[in-house]
Amino acid sequence: MPPKRFQTTAAMACVKILLTIFIVVFWVVGIALLALGIWGVIELKNYLALSEQDYSSVPYVLIGTGSFMVATGLIGCYAIVKNITWFLHLYTVMVFVVFIALFACGIAGFIFEKGLTSSFKSGLATHIEEYGATDTDGLDKYVDNLQETLFCCGGTNYSDWLAGTTWSETHTDTVPVSCCNMTVDAQVCEDAKPKDGVQISGNNGTLYIFDEGCSAKVTSFLSSKMGIIAGSALAFGAFQLIGIVLSCCLAKMINANKYEMM
């Protein structure tokens, strides 16, 4: 029968392999969150700025979480290579922090899903009403970008522009150029000037503009994806327990191996 010290060494090697696999998965998710946060800062600012509530910090939370996870993985790898137990304990604490953060994010995602969609809906309606005013803090460009990117017009539909808005006070039966559908008649869109807007339809009844509202497009996306995102956060949060158990076991085995070698 092999000496107990060799049995402990073999078990340590097995746990190290499993913990290394866990850290690789942990790293991949951390890098994905980091990339998602950077993408959010660059691309989602147009949408977040239109919400009634301030969600501009969300991408930075993702960047911070992703960076923290990458740093945690580095500490875990160093602890495995050097067999340093207190580094393993530090790694365990950091993984536990990620576990708490992901669970909190997952639960918050389920709780605030409706609030997020309604906040965007009401915020967009307000910005459409104030579009063209002198004190909109430059948010007109975000409304234009939203309509051009999602191929939509207005909140509910293009009729939102025709009454009860700053735009409708100076424009009759006309919508902003960002509502113009290039695929229907590119020349109409090119000839129209942003300050003048574009006609809704031609003499032959052809609709020159996008006929779908922006609120429906954004809120349907949020409703369909928020559950998946929140569920994924909870599932990966639970996955952290594996890393916590493995790192604790490895720390115990390292101490036991040192004792047996004395």
* Same domain (yes/no): 11, 110: yes
**Which residue is associated with the tokens 């928020």?**
226
What pLDDT shows up at residue 208? 92
What pLDDT shows up at residue 213? 92
What are φ and ψ of residue 173, in 5° steps?
A: 50, 40
- Position 261 pLDDT exceeds 50: no
What pLDDT shows up at residue 8? 60
- Does some domain include residue 166? yes
What are φ and ψ of residue 198, in 5° steps?
A: -135, 145
- Position 136 pLDDT exceeds 60: no
* Same domain (yes/no): 68, 79: yes
* Same domain (yes/no): 124, 208: yes
- Position 3 pLDDT exceeds 60: no
Contact 103, 231 (CB under 8 A): no
The angle formed by the CA atoms of residues 33, 34 and 39, to the nearest 5 degrees, is 95
Name residues whose C-beta falls within 8 Å of residue 86's C-beta, 6 or more positions apart in sequence.
none
Q: Which of 107-111, 139-143, 161-165, 180-184 has the lowest mean pLDDT?
A: 107-111
- Say how many domains are in the chain: 2
What are the CA-CA distances from residue 188 to residues 8, 87, 152, 202 (Å)? 77, 66, 17, 10
* Same domain (yes/no): 188, 130: yes
* Same domain (yes/no): 29, 72: yes
Partners of residue 201 on adjacent β-strands: 207
Among 126, 133, 135, smallest CA distance to 215 is for 126
CA distance 82 to 85: 9
- Does some domain include residue 74? yes
Q: Which domain holds residue 161?
A: 117-214
* Same domain (yes/no): 105, 143: no
Residue percentage of the chain with pLDDT more than 70: 87
- Does some domain include residue 228? no
Confidence band of 152 (pLDDT split at 50, 70, 90): very high
Partners of residue 199 on adjacent β-strands: 174
- Does some domain include residue 222? no
